Amino acid sequence: MKNILLLLLLSTLMVSCSGDQFEEDIEAIENYISSNNLSFDKTEESVYYSIASSGSEVRPTLSNVVVCHYEGLYLDGVKFDSSYDRGMTSEFSLSGVIEGWRIGMQLFAEGDSGTLIIPSELAYGGNPPTGIRENAVLIFNIELFEVK
Amino acid found at 63? S
Give the pLDDT confidence of 49-100 residue by residue, as tens digits: 999 988 789 999 999 999 999 999 999 999 999 999 999 999 999 999 999 9
SS3 state at 78: coil
Residue 128 CA to residue 108 CA, distance in Å, equals: 25
Render pLDDT for 93-146 as a digit per residue (tens, 0 to 9): 999 999 999 999 999 999 999 999 999 999 999 999 999 999 999 999 999 999
CB-side neighbour CA atoms (13 Å) of 118: 25
pTM for this entry: 0.86
The two most distant CA atoms of the chain are separated, in Å, by 61
For 47-76, b/e burial (b = at least 16 CB within 10 A) is: bbbebeeeeeeeebeeebebebbbbbbebe
Query: Taking the domain 2-147, which CATH number applies?
Result: 3.10.50.40
Numbers of helices and strands, H then E, in the chain: 3, 7
Break the chain into its structural domains and give their ranges.
2-147
Segment 24-55, tens digit of pLDDT = 999 999 999 999 999 999 999 999 999 998 87
Helix (H, G, I), strand (E, B) or coil at 148: coil
Question: 13 with 19: CB under 8 angstroms?
Answer: no
